[in-house]
Structure 1
Amino acid sequence: MKFFTNKVRYSILAGLAAYGTYHLALNFIGIGFAIQDCSRYSEGTISIICHLFGLN
């Protein structure tokens, strides 16, 4: 039973790590596309990133 519990625990952790990596990659791709058209975004995180990089 202990082997089964450890296997399930590691499977859940591996799944969460894969989901987090996937979500993070999609966020970076989205930010990359948004930075190319900064004039469309006037509020939120994208506007802050555009301001930091001087792309307003």
Structure 2
Amino acid sequence: MKEVEEETIYETFIFTGIRRGEMLALKWSDIDFEKAKIRISRSLARTVKRGLF
């Protein structure tokens, strides 16, 4: 099953041009299977927490 999930992720990247942060921020409500559309409305970004100095 994990192979199918990974293949789906890679194919989504390849065929849509979606960025990694956009893919990670997707929710099920962003996907319309009937119209075959994905709505990109947010992106996830990783930040580095730094001290004061």
The answer to whether the superposition gives a TM-score over 0.5 is: no
How high is the TM-score relative to the length of structure 1?
0.36
How high is the TM-score relative to the length of structure 2?
0.38
Greater share of residues in helix: 1
- Greater relative CO, 1 or 2 (CA 8 Å, sep 6+): 2
Greater share of residues in strand: 2
Which entry has the higher C-alpha Rg, 1 or 2?
A: 1
